[in-house]
């Protein structure tokens, strides 16, 4: 069979069930599978299960389907309820009762499409046509074949009907296969024929399976006990082949292969049935065999899912699916060593020879096994002598042997070395004009082929050399375990000198020299380093910029500008010009995730080999996979606010979405349809009118756009692959989300009109209030003038009159020489003058603004207290909220507060006999509060005489305030002045 690959589609990939009974590849690029519970559709990377009610229009959901046909626009699936018709555009099904007029049973199984009609049959083999345009149903013929007892999948008498499904041949006949006969119905002649009747077949022949090769016009019939019948030339000739095979079921054919099951063994033959590959294990439960358009074999592994065998092999060819015992040993033991032999075959693990052209393997020189042990040893090819040097494993204690074969693989000579003295062998390199260099754990050595002794290179004293990398200009880059890579130069006398270190403090293993671009690529335990011609770092490739694995096991430069590296996460390539990284995984055919150190080789014809823990990969760059199927992006589902969106033209034809402002949570499931390379392609998207950067989409999750602001979003979908890195744009959806009403132009017109009207109203109101306030200010000013006038008249006028009278009295007393009496009068004049001056000062102060800190209300109260109480033995405390200074601006209120304070303090000095007094001016939410309290003897409120208390009450009333007086255990005067006044 050559190199082939096996892939599986299982329930882990989305299949509704592990068993399927009918397979169909349509013209749209989908594969359809019928399971017991639902219809499944596969696009090359994902499975869609049709089990939800909204896919079925006014009909029950399809569970087990029976057969397929198509007409380009619709897919037709048979069932026991009738014919299900799938509309590709709308992604929905309808159900038609085909046999309603002809049978009590509703079963309808499609055969194919011809003459604008779908042709069907039922259990009774009634042939019916369904016109896809007019919907006319016609009973065409009764086929003379024993009726089916049941079409149920589980009805199994050892000969199931779906291995013998009818088909349309190239001569416009419908061919029916029963268990005992073959019947054809001519679409043109309307005649029924029996092709097998012309041959003398054994009456005991039981037909079990059938397959038609349209290109060769050949019908293959599998029998229970008579092998395989092949009818050709329009059923006119018949050959009996493979007569020894029994119970041949599930036959299928293509251009070069015939596949069938026989007694639980899978057989894959060439078309001549001469060369065959039996699979006695792994596929015992296989059935329902079909070839797709590119020659891959599909079949159901009952209960496990669908298996696909690609006879071309994986893109990264491998031996993981081989059944040869030697190849299976690679999977069991791994591969860590390759050597190209003179005939270009590959020596693997020093034990087996692999022929890539024939995909075959054989033991290496089994007749010479007495000379060496070839299990997992290391071998080297000398391209200059064409010799093969093989390092065997230990033969006794510390003695190891090196076997040298000539180009004909004949034993030429051998050498021994002591592992105890030299340590473990690591590597070997050959030169054209100088001795080979060997690395052991104790250092580097040259082999004296005359004496057979190894001589240590003392100029390179470092221990644990790991790998010797040959560079240009007689240089070598030697990697060490737990040490820097060393750059060594060889002189003309085969002497070696250390000339530098490469990547200090980095564990480096391998280096590849890119002579064309004058740069170096180094594989390390931290990724791949790119160095310039002077070994200076240019760039690091690791997980931060897309390299799948960072512990490098091997690197190779191919002939097409790419560096390949193996690591703990598969294989990767780096384009040496663009630096685009491509990672290869199991979908591409890697033998397993983990590879082996030093297990890599580039052959003379450019084929690359990489060995790993479960085998090896080999391929010849450049990797440019051919593609039969055109990759296509299709929209599978759109959700708006978590509700399925239904497009009248079909969701895949959606180009524009116009949504309301609150329909701004959108989920788009976009998928790639490519039955050949779907799993190797990646979906990309971008919002084109916002961001030009492409972003990768997950295969399993849709594109979710949540809480989108009003506006236009151009969602563009593209496809990329790991070979080119380019994005091919394929689909564009324009999403338009309306603005909220308050964000629309109309709203702003209405709002502007309302605002303008309100502004006019406010301006008019403001003018009115302004005029009103000006009037109030004038009235207040007039009131203040009247108050000032009254104060001047009452206080100052009366005092001046009193001064005038007292002056006259004093003058008369002086004239009468009554000096003592005159002095009393003069002292009275002095007191009145002082009081007059104070009153004038208070009036003037109350009229001044509070801009000057020395003129504030709080400062004035402190000054008054100091003037009145400063020369007494009374201790006083003042607590004033100084923010009140800026709140009380009315001069009459300020004047009244000062006068009340003076009056109260004078009373304390004159009458209280107190040694303490407190003055508080505070505020609450509604009032300014003035409180003056002493610790004196108090007085009887009923015996109040004089105008002091009365004046304080009067002044409080002028401020619309509240006057409170208490005289128990001292006297407390409390004035509440409103903070806000009309």
SS3 assignment for 625-685: CCCCCCCEEEEEEEEECCEECCCCCCHHHCCEEEECCCCCCEEEEEEEECCCCHHHEEEEE
| The CATH number of domain 850-982, selected from 3.30.465.10, 2.102.10.10, 3.30.565.10, 3.40.50.720 | 3.30.565.10
pLDDT grade for 745, boundaries at 50, 70 and 90: confident
837: Cα within 13 Å, side-chain hemisphere = 6
Nearest to 679 by CA among 700, 704, 653, 702: 700
| CA 446 – CA 435 distance, rounded (Å) | 6
pLDDT reading at 748 higher than 90 = no
What's the length of the chain? Answer: 982
Tens-digit pLDDT profile for residues 171-198:
999 999 999 999 999 999 999 999 999 9
pLDDT reading at 906 higher than 70 = yes
Higher pLDDT, 234 or 842: 234
Q: How far is CA 413 from CA 402, 429, 433, in A?
A: 9, 18, 20
Tell me what pLDDT residue 774 has.
77
- The rounded Cα 443 to chain-centroid distance in angstroms is 49
Exposed, middle or buried by CB within 10 Å (0-12, 13-18, 19+), for 136?
A: exposed
| CA 252 – CA 271 distance, rounded (Å) | 11
Tell me what pLDDT residue 302 has.
92
Tell me what pLDDT residue 799 has.
65
| CA 260 – CA 265 distance, rounded (Å) | 8
CATH of the domain spanning 22-152: 2.130.10.10
Q: Which two tokens stand for residue 199?
A: 């041959």
Q: Which two tokens stand for residue 657?
A: 């979405």
Q: How far is CA 979 from CA 656, 704, 741, 922, in A?
A: 66, 60, 46, 11
Tell me what pLDDT residue 446 has.
94
Tens-digit pLDDT profile for residues 18-34:
999 999 999 999 999 99
Tell me what pLDDT residue 844 has.
63
Average pLDDT for residues 293-322, to the nearest whole number? 92
Whether the link from the prior residue into 462 is cis, omega within 30° of 0, is no
pLDDT reading at 393 higher than 70 = no
CATH of the domain spanning 632-738: 2.60.40.10
Tell me what pLDDT residue 374 has.
45
Q: How far is CA 322 from CA 281, 282, 313, 600, in A?
A: 12, 12, 11, 21
pLDDT reading at 101 higher than 50 = yes
- Residue 45: DSSP 8-state: S
Q: How far is CA 910 from CA 314, 837, 904, 937, 951, in A?
A: 118, 21, 10, 12, 17
Mean pLDDT estimate for the chain: 89
Nearest to 875 by CA among 933, 915, 921, 904: 915
Average pLDDT for residues 196-216, to the nearest whole number? 94
Tell me what pLDDT residue 442 has.
94
| CA 183 – CA 204 distance, rounded (Å) | 18
Higher pLDDT, 817 or 606: 606
Is 325-345+424-619 in CATH node 3.40.190.10? no
Tell me what pLDDT residue 61 has.
96
Q: Angle of helix 745-791 relative to helix 819-847, nearest 10 degrees?
A: 170
pLDDT grade for 802, boundaries at 50, 70 and 90: low
| CA 876 – CA 152 distance, rounded (Å) | 112
Tell me what pLDDT residue 280 has.
80
Does 22-152 match 325-345+424-619 in CATH topology?
yes
Nearest to 716 by CA among 737, 736, 695, 699: 695
Q: 728: which strand partners? A: 719
- Residue 782: DSSP 8-state: H
> CB 747: neighbour CB atoms within 10 A?
13
Q: 238: which strand partners? A: 231
Which residues, at least 6 apart from 262, have a Cβ–Cβ distance to it below 8 Å? 245, 246, 247, 248, 249
Nearest to 260 by CA among 229, 234, 286, 235: 286
Q: Which residues of 768-798 are buried (b: 16+ CB within 10 A; e: fewer)?
A: eeeeeeeeeeeeeeeeeeebbeebeeebeee
Give pairs for 447-453: CB < 8 Å, separation 24+: 447/415, 452/415, 452/416
- Given the DSSP bridges, would you call strands 182-186 and 554-557 parallel, antiparallel or unpaired? unpaired
Exposed, middle or buried by CB within 10 Å (0-12, 13-18, 19+), for 975?
A: buried
> CB 880: neighbour CB atoms within 10 A?
18
The three state secondary structure string of 714-763 is EEEEEEEECCCCCEEEEEEEEEEECCCHHHCHHHHHHHHHHHHHHHHHHH
Phi, psi values for residue 775, rounded to 5°: -65, -45
pLDDT reading at 372 higher than 50 = no
Three-state secondary structure call for residue 800: helix
Higher pLDDT, 66 or 726: 66
Average pLDDT for residues 586-604, to the nearest whole number? 94
Average pLDDT for residues 293-315, to the nearest whole number? 93
Hey, which bits of 368-507 come out as E strands? 378-382, 387-391, 399-405, 411-418, 425-429, 437-440, 443-448, 453-456, 465-471, 475-480, 483-490, 496-502
What DSSP line would sit under 214-251, residue for residue? TTTTEEEEEESSS-EEEEETTTTEEEEE-TT--SEEEE
Least confident window among 254-263, 640-649, 823-832? 823-832
pLDDT reading at 874 higher than 60 = yes
Q: Which two tokens stand for residue 477?
A: 């880059």
Three-state secondary structure call for residue 843: helix
Q: Which two tokens stand for residue 581?
A: 């990284």
| The CATH number of domain 1-13+198-313, selected from 2.120.10.30, 2.160.10.10, 2.60.40.420, 1.20.1250.20 | 2.120.10.30
Average pLDDT for residues 918-932, to the nearest whole number? 93
Torsion of CA 112, 115, 118, 122, to 10 degrees: -80
pLDDT grade for 248, boundaries at 50, 70 and 90: very high
* Domain boundary assignment for the chain: 1-13+198-313, 22-152, 325-345+424-619, 346-422, 632-738, 744-847, 850-982
- Residue 56: DSSP 8-state: B
Average pLDDT for residues 891-912, to the nearest whole number? 87
- Residue 508: DSSP 8-state: E
pLDDT grade for 370, boundaries at 50, 70 and 90: very low
């Amino acid at each position: 069979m050559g190199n082939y690959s096996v892939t599986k589609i299982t329930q882990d990939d989305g299949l509704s069930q592990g068993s399927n009974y009918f397979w169909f590849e349509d013209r749209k690029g989908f594969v359809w599978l019928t399971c017991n519970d639902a219809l499944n559709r596969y696009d090359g990377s994902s499975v869609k299960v049709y089990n939800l009610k909204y896919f079925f229009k006014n009909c029950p959901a399809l569970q087990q389907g029976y057969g397929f046909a198509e007409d380009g626009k619709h897919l037709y699936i048979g069932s026991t309820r009738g014919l299900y018709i799938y509309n590709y555009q709308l992604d929905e099904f309808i159900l038609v009762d085909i046999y309603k007029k002809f049978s009590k049973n509703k079963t309808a199984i499609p055969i194919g499409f011809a003459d604008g009609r779908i042709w069907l049959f039922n259990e009774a083999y009634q042939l019916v046509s369904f016109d896809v345009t007019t919907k006319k149903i016609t009973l065409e013929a009764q086929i003379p074949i024993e009726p089916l007892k049941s079409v149920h999948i589980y009805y199994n008498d050892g000969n199931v009907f779906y291995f013998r499904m009818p088909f349309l041949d190239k001569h416009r006949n419908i061919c029916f296969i029963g268990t005992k006969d073959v019947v054809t119905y001519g679409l043109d002649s309307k005649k029924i024929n029996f092709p097998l009747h012309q041959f003398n077949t054994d009456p005991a022949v039981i037909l079990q399976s059938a397959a038609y090769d349209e290109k060769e016009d050949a019908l293959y019939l599998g029998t229970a006990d008579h092998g395989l019948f092949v009818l050709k030339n329009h059923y006119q000739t018949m050959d009996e082949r493979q007569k020894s095979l029994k119970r041949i079921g599930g036959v299928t054919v293509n251009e070069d292969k015939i596949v069938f099951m026989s007694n639980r063994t899978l057989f894959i033959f060439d078309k001549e049935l001469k060369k065959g590959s039996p699979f006695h294990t792994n596929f015992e439960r296989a059935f329902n065999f079909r070839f797709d358009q590119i020659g891959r074999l599909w079949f159901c592994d009952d209960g496990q899912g669908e298996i696909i065998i690609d006879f071309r092999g994986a893109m990264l060819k491998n031996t993981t699916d081989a059944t040869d015992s030697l190849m299976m040993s690679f999977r069991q033991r791994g591969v860590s060593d390759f050597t190209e032999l003179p005939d270009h075959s590959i020596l693997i693990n020093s034990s087996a020879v692999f022929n890539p052209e024939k995909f075959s393997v054989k033991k290496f020189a089994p007749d010479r096994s007495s000379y060496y042990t070839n299990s997992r040893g290391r071998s080297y090819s000398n391209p200059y002598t064409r010799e093969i040097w093989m390092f065997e494993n230990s033969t006794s204690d510390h003695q190891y042997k090196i076997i040298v074969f000539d180009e004909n693989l004949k034993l030429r000579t051998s050498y021994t070395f002591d592992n105890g003295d030299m340590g473990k062998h690591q590597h070997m390199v050959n030169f054209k004009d100088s001795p080979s260099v060997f690395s052991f754990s104790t250092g580097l050595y040259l082999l004296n082929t005359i004496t057979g002794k190894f001589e240590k290179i003392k100029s390179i004293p470092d221990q644990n050399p790991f790998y010797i990398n040959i560079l240009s200009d007689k240089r070598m880059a030697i990697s060490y375990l737990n040490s820097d890579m060393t750059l060594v130069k060889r002189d003309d006398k085969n002497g070696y000198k250390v000339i530098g270190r490469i990547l200090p403090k980095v564990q480096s293993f391998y280096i590849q020299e890119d002579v064309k671009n004058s740069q170096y690529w180094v594989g390390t335990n931290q990724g791949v380093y790119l160095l310039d011609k002077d070994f200076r770092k240019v760039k690091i490739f690791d997980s931060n910029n897309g390299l799948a694995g960072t512990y490098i096991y091997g690197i190779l430069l191919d002939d097409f500008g790419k560096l390949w590296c193996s690591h703990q996460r598969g294989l990767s390539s780096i384009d040496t010009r663009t630096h685009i990284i491509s990672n290869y995984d199991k979908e591409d055919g890697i033998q397993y995730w983990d590879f082996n150190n030093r297990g890599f080789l580039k052959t003379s014809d450019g084929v690359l080999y990489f060995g790993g823990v479960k085998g090896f990969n080999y391929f010849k760059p450049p990797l440019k996979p051919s593609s039969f199927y055109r990759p296509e992006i299709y929209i599978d589902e759109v959700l708006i606010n978590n509700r399925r969106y239904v497009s009248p033209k079909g969701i895949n034809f959606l180009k524009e979405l116009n949504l309301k402002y609150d329909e701004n949570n959108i989920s788009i499931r976009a998928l790639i349809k490519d039955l050949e390379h779907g799993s190797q392609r990646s979906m990309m998207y971008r919002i084109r009118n916002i961001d030009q950067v492409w972003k990768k989409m997950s295969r399993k999750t849709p594109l979710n756009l949540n809480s989108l602001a009003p506006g236009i979003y151009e969602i563009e979908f593209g496809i990329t692959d790991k070979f080119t890195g380019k994005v091919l744009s394929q689909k564009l959806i324009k999403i338009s989300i309306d603005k909220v009403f308050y964000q629309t132009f109309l709203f702003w017109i209405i709002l502007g009109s309302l605002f303008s009207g309100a502004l006019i109203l406010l301006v008019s109101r403001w003018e009115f209030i302004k005029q009103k306030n000006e009037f109030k200010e004038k009235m207040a000013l007039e009131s203040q003038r009247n108050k000032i006038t009254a104060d001047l008249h009452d206080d100052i006028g009366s005092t001046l009159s009193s001064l005038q009278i007292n002056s006259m009295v004093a003058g008369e007393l002086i004239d009468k020489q009554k000096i003592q009496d005159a002095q009393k009068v003069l002292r009275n004049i002095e007191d009145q003058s002082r009081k007059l001056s104070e009153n004038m000062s208070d009036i003037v102060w109350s009229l001044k603004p509070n801009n000057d800190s020395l003129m504030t209300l709080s400062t004035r109260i402190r000054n008054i207290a100091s003037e009145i109480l400063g020369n007494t033995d009374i201790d006083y405390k003042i607590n004033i909220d100084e923010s009140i200074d800026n709140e009380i601006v009315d001069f009459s209120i300020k004047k009244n507060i000062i006068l009340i304070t003076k009056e109260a303090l004078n009373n304390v000095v004159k009458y209280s006999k107190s040694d303490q007094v407190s003055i508080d001016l505070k505020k609450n939410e509604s009032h300014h509060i003035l409180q003056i309290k002493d610790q004196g003897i108090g007085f009887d409120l009923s015996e109040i005489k004089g105008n002091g208390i009365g004046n304080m009450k009067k002044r409080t009333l002028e401020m619309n305030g509240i006057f409170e007086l208490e005289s128990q255990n001292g006297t407390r005067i409390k004035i509440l002045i409103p903070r806000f006044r009309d």
